[in-house]
Structure 1
Amino acid sequence: YTSLFLAFFSCFAWLYVAGRLWQDAENRTVLSNLLQRNAAQGPKLLTVEDKLAVLGCKDLERRVVEAEMELTLAKSQGYLKSWLSLNESSSGKKFLAVIGVYTGFGSHLKRKVFRGFWMPRGDALKKLEERGVVIRFVIGRSANRGDSLDRNINGENRSTKDFLILEGHEEAQEELPKKVKSFFSTAVQTWDAEFYVKADNNINLDLEGLIELLEHRRSQASAYIGCMKSGEVVTEEGSPWYEPEWWKFGDEKSYFRHAAGSLLILSKKLARYIDINSASLKTYAHDDTSVGSWMMGLQATYIDDNRLCCSSIKQDKVCSLA
């Protein structure tokens, strides 16, 4: 029995050792596969070529930034040609003035009156442009792009050809300060003119008187012209002319000097400044004070002309309230 027991025990021990050795071999295979997989996913040692590629990207990024800075400088110095509309300025024609008359979606009847009273139509509008003066109704787009409001304006413009449509601007009363920025920027890019005039749609304009005024100011490259005033900042919410950021105007709560009212004029140099810096220019609650704030940091020539005070009773005024 002893020899039989030893034989059985030896067989059992051999089977146990063989099983352990097989299991260890399996574990080593699994571990080897995991190590190979992790090595493939681990951080790669950068070769000289890899490092050169990274440095090349950094250099390219630096050159892009430098190019953008040079582009902005060139634009500010007038070396770049603005994009021009095919129908109006592709010939490179220079104008005396571009007059933008604010209008809205609900002002169709008022536009008809304007066209019949002081704003030329059809061939007369073209002849005025031959003299160097462009007049356009200025309007943005509906909040619901492509709706009946937009379609009506498009249809009217096809018939009259006297609109400047601000494609990137949403037409709304509370967006008027942004509208004036969009107008000057778009007008500068579309027409090469000596002056850019923003006019409200509540005035009658002595067009010949305005042309004479601008002809007289041709030599003033930094002209900021209008009915200049300053005044109290309205701090009470809900009141007419309320300024939500009234606290920025100091303890006296007084506006800086600016061209107020329904008509203001900027020379090409000042309008181009607005175009170049449009993205960073701060707007306030009202368009005239917004423009005034942009002029404060520039070497602008302030020209206070009483003839541009549309509510004035002077006999020789250029504009009057409609």
Structure 2
Amino acid sequence: MKAKGGAAGGERRPVLSRTILLLCACSFGLGMLFTDRFGAMPDLKSPVVAQRRRQEEELQVVSEDFVAKTKPSDDRDVMGEVAKTHEAIQYLDKSIATLQMELAARRSRHELLESADGVRQERKKAFVVIGINTAFSSKKRRDSVRETWMPQGEKLKKLEEEKGVVIRFMIGHSPASNSALDQAIDVEDAIHHDFLRLDHVEGYHKLSAKTKTFFSTAVASWDADFYVKVDDDVHVNLGMLLTTLGRHKLKPRVYIGCMKSGPVLSDNSKYHEPEFWKFGEDGNKYFRHATGQIYAISKDLATYISVNKPLLHKFANEDVSLGAWFIGLDVEHIDDRDMCCGTPPGQFLSVVIIYTMHVSEDLALTFHFWNGFDISDCEWKAQAGNACVASFDWRCSGVCNPVERLKDVHMRCGEGDEAIWSASF
């Protein structure tokens, strides 16, 4: 019995020990848990807690202030800044273009011409150089111009020396060197001394190239304020031309003429434009440009053409080409309708005169009288003392039948032979 009881007591001791260890572990764990959860709460009035709370509040204020300062501006402010930036860029672009043209003009102004013997000569000073576009077959037209609005001989020389007005017929050469056509011009020039010979092969479809060559040649020979191109079938009042140019003398880059904009012709007509596709869809019009019968450009623009001659693109029509060369520049376009007046006989104007006669209180008779007369644009302006600068017929792109009619136009629309000498510019 003893042995049995002893055995039973020995087995209970290890079980009891394990139970006690387990209870201790559980008590320790529960103690740790309840100590963390229900431990003593910190004193809210203690200096440490108060300082920490102030730091957190200060941090929040700084954070809110930073967000307020970095908040994007109102949409209107943003658009305003964008607009100002765009205007500044445009101003800089114009300033750069202006400086480039002025630099080229100044460089050309100080250039010296070198002759064949190596002697360097300065360009002649002038107020205006007028180039009259002509052809080999237009001798009768040239004679008509000489007999009307263009001074001859000593008067032409005096005009150049005293007024600074240079007038020349501009012409190139024939494809064959020293041909009969060239020799005929040599003979004519020996008589009148009024030609400017160009390094250019003559041809109707080469007017754009001829225009570039004229301005380059004129700029190389004369340091003028203005350069004018006019056709040999146009009537010009030189005094009015000088007065008009004088009004714009202080402007650096002016382009003066009768501004127009016509349709771009893609068919095979007289003014067909092979590069019509560059101007947009069918039915589009050219940009505004001066009509080719007569126009004037200032010194800086003529110099610009001379310097950039190899780069300037030539369209089929000479007046369109000139307008294209200036379209992207800071140039003042001046539309002067006195440079494209109509010529006689003009339009038929009908004047109606109404006269009423009272026969009695109940009867009144009314009479109508018609009076008709012919008068042209240039003629009535000349009669009013305000002659046109230039006159021609739009339907003929010049004076119709100029050899026969230019004298009549000069008589009816001219300013008088002495106007050129009294012109103030």
After superposition, the C-alpha distances for 1:187-206 in whole angstroms (9 at most, x for unaligned) are 11111100000001111110
How far, CA to CA, are the matches of 1:77 and 1:288 in structure 2? 26
Q: Return the offset for 1:75.
A: 4.7
Cα offsets for 1:58-104 (capped at 9, x unmatched): xxxxxxxxxxxxxx996553263242889xx9565421100000011
Correspondence 1:4-23 to 2 at 5 A: none
- Do residues 307 (structure 1) and 338 (structure 2) align? yes
Residue 105 and residue 236 in structure 1: after superposition, are their counterparts in 2 closer, same or farther (change >3 A)? same
**Structure with max Cα Rg:** 2
What is the CA–CA distance in structure 2 between the aligned matches of 1:85 and 1:103, rounded to whole Å?
A: 27
Three-state SS of the structure 2 residue aligned to 1:120 is coil
Look up the match of 2:262: 231
| Corresponding residue of 1:156 | 188
Shift of 1:215: 1.3
Residues 252-310 of structure 1 show CA distances to partners (whole Å, capped at 9, x for unaligned) of 42100101140011100000000000011101011100000000111111111011114
Structural mapping, 1:92-131, within 5 Å = 92-130=123-161, 131=163
Query: CA-to-partner distance for each residue in 1:183-238, whole Å, 9 max, x for gaps?
Result: 1111111111000000011111101110111111110110100001112111112x
Contact 2:112 2:122 in 1 (8 A): no
Mapped to 1, the partners of 2:104 and 2:250 lie a distance apart of 22
Question: How much has 1:120 moved relative to structure 2?
Answer: 0.8
Q: 1:262 aligns with which of 293, 301, 306?
A: 293
Q: Is the 8 A contact 1:261 1:310 kept in 2?
A: no
Task: Give the secondary-structure state (helix, strand or coil) at the position aligned to 2:147.
Answer: helix
For 1:60, the equivalent position in structure 2 comes to none
Alignment size in residue pairs: 247
Matched position secondary structure for 2:224: strand
Aligned mates of 1:310, 1:179 — CA distance in 2 = 26
Q: Identify if the C-alpha distance between structure 1 residues 155 and 90 changes in structure 2 by more than 3 Å, giving closer, same or farther.
A: farther
1:196 maps to 2:227: yes
**Distance in 2 of aligned mates of 1:93 and 1:164:** 15
1:59 is matched with which residue?
A: none
Aligned to 2:391: 320
Render the CA deviation track for 1:152-198: whole Å, top value 9, x for unaligned: 111211221100010x2001111111111111111111111000000
Contact map agreement 2:124 2:221 (CA 8 A) in 1: no
Cα distance between partner residues in 2 of 1:224 and 1:320? 19
Q: Which runs of 5+ in 1 are unaligned?
A: 1-71
Kindly provide the amino acid, as one letter, of the partner of residue 163 in structure 1.
F
- Aligned CA RMSD, in angstroms, stands at 2.2
2:178 partner amino acid = G
Identify which of 242, 267, 286 aligns with 1:211.
Answer: 242
**TM-score, with normalisation over the residues of structure 1?**
0.72
Q: Any conservation in 2 of the 1:247–1:253 contact (CA below 8 Å)?
A: no
Q: Is the 8 A contact 1:221 1:268 kept in 2?
A: yes
Alignment pair present for 1:83 and 2:83: no
**Pair 243,162 (structure 1): closer, same or farther in 2 beyond 3 Å:** same
Alpha carbons of 1:111 and 1:73: their partners in 2 closer, same or farther (altered >3 Å)?
A: closer
Cα distance in 2 for residues equivalent to 1:189 and 1:91: 10
Output the CA distance in 1 between the equivalents of 2:303 and 2:188: 29
Query: Do the aligned partners of 2:169 and 2:196 also contact (CA within 8 Å) in 1?
Result: yes
Q: Secondary structure of the equivalent of 1:212?
A: helix
* Equivalent position of 2:165 in the other structure: 133
Q: Which residue of 2 aligns with 1:291?
A: 322
CA contact (8 A) 2:113 2:123 kept: no
Determine the C-alpha separation between the residues in 2 that align with 1:85 and 1:159: 25
